Amino acid sequence: MACICSIGTSLPEYQKTQDEVKQLVETIFPRPTREKQRLLQVFDHANISKRQFVVPEQWFTEDHSFAERNKIYQHEAIKHSIKAMDHCLTNEYFVEEPITYEAIDAIFFISSTGLATPSIDAYLMNERHFREDVVRIPIWGLGCAGGVSAMARAHDWLQANPTKTALIVSVELCSLTFQKNDTSKSNFVGTALFGDGIAAMLVAGSESSNRKYIKGPSPQITKTSSHLQKNTLDVMGWDIANTGFEVIFAKSIPKLVETLWKQHVTQFLRTTDIQLDELQFFIAHPGGTKVLQAMEDALNKSKDTFRFSYQVLNDHGNMSSVTVFHVLKRVMEQRIQPGVQTIVSALGPGFSSELLSLEWSD
């Protein structure tokens, strides 16, 4: 089984409270005042206190081309990825001593908010002392599901290469997709939920020599599962415009949680030895408050079961694929006892559901 050894993050420098973002949106959005006041209520109900961005407030009031946005994406993605990787490999809370870049055998790079060719992982290899034979696996377009999918794909690769060690890097700079002239309700909802985030995760195979540096019990990936619901392409994703990415965010998502997601989780649990009523906590990507509440109802679980997801949503908003790494990092910092099992979950474009099971072990 692949072992999650360490997680590191990098926080963007510009932080705004939810009230400050709300005031900004109220000022710049081109909608009638009465309609705008009605839509602004989504900010009040989002259960978000603050978010972080890679650009200052003034940037949001100006017009930007796709090329300009993407240039910022590339620069900031590289800068913050390096910080997150450095933090991950030297995080004293998780590892006894720093892991060297020469010890990394594969890089999984995850993003859906900008473009680069060569992919960003190639730039990272030029900035740090990676070996030249590192396997590069960039994954684009999975949105909020990308983090869990990357963990699953790293697990698959390490099952085939048990002596190896992989580094997952996830970057989502959602602020750069902000469209001040897009009057759609999806765009309005997106501005109330999304923030920027960057994270890196170290994952080691069952025979990797790097496992000896892990502090305390750590989560092992035991099973994975993917589900794509056909004929739901319009539920979540991007429309590509001349000015960049325009968000697609259907109001049917909570309903799909109650049907598609519930069925996927139920079927997945049958393949594990995890009992739903024994779950101490659930590691869910917090797409938003309504999504988390729909998950609680679907599984008949309390809000406390999803407490780590609510905490991250409150402190950072929805950071797309990065968010689940922040949730898992908070869980790992609790020093979970050996034998505890849980489920990691995320929903994404397609409409898709990604699941994996974890068990803490020495």
Cis peptide bond prior to 138, omega within 30° of 0: no
Query: What does the buried/exposed string (b/e) look like for 134-164 if buried means 16 or more CB atoms within 10 Å of the residue's CB?
Result: beebbbeebbbbbbbbbbbbbbebbeebeeb
Tell me, rounded to whole angstroms, the distance of Cα 269 from its chain centroid: 23
What tokens appear for 52 in the block? Answer: 């972080």
What tokens appear for 7 in the block? Answer: 């997680």
Gyration radius of the chain's alpha carbons: 20
Nearest to 310 by CA among 334, 333, 285: 285
Nearest to 89 by CA among 112, 74, 107: 107
The amino acid present at 358, given as its one-letter code, is L
The residue assigned the tokens 């849980």 is 342
Does residue 5 have an active-site annotation?
no
Helix 120-127 to helix 66-90 angle (10° resolution) is: 50
Q: Quick check: helix, strand or coil at residue 129?
A: coil
d(CA 220, CA 214): 12
d(CA 246, CA 243): 9
Nearest to 109 by CA among 133, 129, 135: 135
Query: Cβ distance 194 to 208 under 8 Å?
Result: no
Q: Is 304 exposed, middle or buried (0-12, 13-18, 19+ CB in 10 A)?
A: exposed
Active-site position among 3, 5, 144, 174? 144
Nearest to 344 by CA among 306, 317, 288: 306
Active site amino acids? 144
